[in-house]
Amino acid sequence: MEKKYIVGMFSVLVLTMFVVGLNIGSVGDNLVGDGLDYGSNVCVYKNDELIGCQENVVTTAGLNYARGALSGTVTNISELALGNTTAPAVGETALAGVYTTHGLAKIAGAYNANGNGNWSIAYTWTATAGPTDVNTTALYKTGGDMFAGTTFAKTTLQVDDQLKCNYTLWVS
């Protein structure tokens, strides 16, 4: 329970800083230099070997989540999903082709604070069936819509292969 509260409050803080930074940039005397920068990427590993790292597409639902967080609605962003489909688009609320079987179902990842303004959410799946092709991943609000997602090089998993997704988000 405490971990979910910390992740939720941290999400609100980061989103507040992001919006404040955007507004400061439009006011004139900008006390934060050029404003806040936001970044996010995901690195994918198969059996501990890096497949690649990609930037994420933040969805409309993700942007609306940010608005809601600033108005007092707090939901953790902690669930990760895998799929085999085309790149997620801004207007999508769910990852097309998302897996619900083969040991690859959507699940809550582990949160890690990586220093000031930097955190990650990661999970390692173990395939229970194969061959299974995987080429997309998404980050979800807990019990809700897709926050962000991306594609990576198509990877074929066999039984007992492991696939790790590590989403890293930062503000500066």
Residue type, 58: V
Instruction: Find the domain containing 161 and state its range.
Output: 2-171
The arithmetic mean of pLDDT across residues 23-46, rounded, is: 57
pLDDT tens per residue, range 97-139: 999 999 999 999 998 888 877 888 899 999 999 899 999 999 9
For residues 22-43, average pLDDT: 52
**Taking the complete model, does pTM exceed 0.75, yes or no?**
no
Q: How many domains does the chain have?
A: 1
Among 140, 135, 122, CA closest to 61: 140
Instruction: Report the run of H or E that residue 68 belongs to, with start and end.
Output: helix 60-70
Structural contact between residues 130 and 124, judged by C-beta atoms closer than 8 angstroms: no
